[in-house]
Structure 1
Amino acid sequence: MTLAAEKVDEWTVDTLDLDAYLGRIGQDRAKPSAAALRELAKAHVLAVPFENVDVVLEQHKGIALDDVIGKLVRRHRGGYCYEHGSLFAAAAEKLGYPVRRLVARVQPQKNGPYTHMTLAIEADGVQHLVDVGFGAGMLVPMPLVDGAVVDQAGWPHRLVADGDWWRLQKKEDSDWTDLHAFTLTPMHRIDYEVYHHYTSTHPRSPFTGQLVVMRLEEGLSRKLVGTEFIVERPDGTKETTPVPPERLDATLRELDVVLTEEELAKLLTIYRG
């Protein structure tokens, strides 16, 4: 078996029905290119919600690719970074893109956790940061070029090289804020299993104690965090509205998260405290 074959086997890429995935995000097969990668990533972010409902319900089945496909593709649900990242990486590889699976330290200026899955994908001979699982963050890929600034749905983002590290930054007012930092060291599947275990079970994880659902589109960021619905726009305007239990289902549906009656009932019990 070749080294390349071993790598593909580690991630069980052949598990993915590429046509089913492309149907889920409304895309056709296209020859690998930077432009095609941009459209693929954008379509994924627009179609698949970022959400942690299964973590809150303590019913997450794990991040094996087949489980991710069952949830995000077959059930039309969303997920968080390990689910988005592993699904997009598999699709990109099946389409012919070289993919490197990475991990990032969130909010490095605050000693945030080294737990976020992100991707480096080559297109037209250039490495790109592709981060489809960073909540209401990135909409399109960014070339891995020091100082590169890319508009992300109306919010400028920048990549800065710092030795072996890369920092993803977002412009807020006149300042650049670090969102996460990463190296190009490739991860193994077991690494993400460890990160996922912490993220989905540890009491200090930001995903175990409250609902987090995020959607991003051009000029609009919508989030349900805990019991608050937050709408933000690139001009700096922000609207925060409390979400009472009787509005939870409608708010989730507005964010494209549709639960079964059993899941909703269990979630409401937790939501009411």
Structure 2
Amino acid sequence: MKVFSQKMQISAKVDELKAKQLTVGLVPTMGALHQGHMALVRKALNENDKVVVSIFVNPTQFDNKDDLIKYPRTLDNDVELLKTVSKNDILVYAPTVEDIYKGNTVSQKFDFDGLEFEMEGKFRNGHFDGVGTIVKRFFEIVKPHRAYFGEKDFQQLAIIKKLVKKHNIPVKVIGCPIHRETSGLAMSSRNTRLKPEYKKAAPFIYKTLTTAKEKFGTKSANKVSEWVEKEFAKHDLLKLEYFIIADTKTLKPVIRKSNKKTYRAFIAAYADDIRLIDNIALN
């Protein structure tokens, strides 16, 4: 499996593939790959001739330097895992920070029509400027026909769709269902850092989401939110950062339910110093 570290190399390879009339998918990742990523890669392979998997821990989307430092970097293991899916049809692009940013490691400023100010945007300063910067850069370097993102980062998915629309980028963005461990915990590279007692406690997040979904059928968004906050207040190990029921189009918190709108519940919680997010469709 070929691992490219320079943008000129991967761009030239993709141009070569396109000259042969082959389609190219892109799965952007920050590495520490797990079966959730593999599900994205498999879907991309089903819908394209070749797939580029980018592996890059992007510094501009971290507002917490410690989180950036501690983020797992496991390139050799990642490549071996990708080989179990396909040895011939996956190209890995694992650039350096210098290759991407050329000594100027700062984010471009974006306007995502307010999507960036909801939920994660309220708690992670500049995060979505960093996301927009790196995804736009990958789209420019790889020029894929399609790009695949998991719905665990639903807000990010919405923002990337907005990015493509506002900047007229010729790529189809495809969202893929959340991949879960048998316990229900949403798969995340951060899960590998959970201490045993926190790993055992973390499925409470998804369990709470599923119960919140049931309650939303008969109760108001405010009542459901109050219930979730009380449940977390009783928990010894997990600390709730936010729980929000939002309109899937605007991502704004719901004030009054409407049968004409679709809603999703979003949650962020800390297990020790590790921040976990999840969400669930409500209707």
Band the TM-score falls in, shorter-chain normalisation:
under 0.3
TM-score normalised by structure 2 residue count: 0.24
Structure having the higher helix fraction is 2
TM-score normalised by structure 1 residue count: 0.25
Structure having the higher strand fraction is 1
